[in-house]
Amino acid sequence: MPAIKDRAKKRKLPGQFVDLVRAMPPQAIVDDVHYGNTLEMIDHLMASGKLTKGQSVYLETLVQLVQAYEASHHAIDTSDISGIATLQHLMAENEMNASDLARLLDVHSSMGSKILKGERALTIEHLKKLAVRFRVNPSIFID
């Protein structure tokens, strides 16, 4: 039976938004089954290569529905994660070191290390630069 499912997955998706809606109408996700089905469709769209305009709009719609469901049903408690820990994680993910941080913030080279050790505080200007660089809300760096 898995072969049939695999063949169904390889079927070409419609290019028009309205045809995609007919195949799987976008609607508020109410349970984990619907969540899983929506994630499957997102994966299928993402794996299909270059998207048409209709497919792109449909994909964005599904992503927003998933984000809303995850925020209310699968939220991750980050209350115990400090702003510096968040910064260190983002820097590691982006292969940055203390010197890179200092350059990004346009401060003396020793300041990157001092900020990461908690010896110096981030300014509002620093928060703005970090938010732009990492594409996040600046409040995640504030304890």
pLDDT value at residue 55: 96
State pLDDT tens for residues 124-138. 999 999 999 999 999
Q: Which band of pLDDT confidence, cut at 50, 70 and 90, is reported for residue 71?
A: confident
Same domain, 41 and 102: no
Provide the CA 98 distance to its chain's centre, in angstroms. Answer: 24
pLDDT digits (tens, 9 = 90+) for 85-135: 999 999 999 999 999 999 999 999 999 999 999 999 999 999 999 999 999
Is 120 inside any structural domain?
Answer: yes
Is the separation of the CB atoms in 128 and 138 below 8 Å?
A: yes
Note whether 68 and 105 are same-domain residues.
Answer: no
Query: For the whole model, what pTM was predicted?
Result: 0.52
- Among residues 104, 12, 5, the alpha carbon closest in space to that of 51 is found at 12
**Enclosing domain of residue 39:** 2-73
pLDDT at 78 over 60: yes
Residue 78 lies in a domain: no
| Percent of the chain residues topping a pLDDT of 70 | 92
Structure letter (DSSP) for residue 139: G
Distance CA 131, CA 111 (A): 18
User: Half-sphere exposure of residue 12, counting CA atoms within 13 Å on the CB side?
Assistant: 6
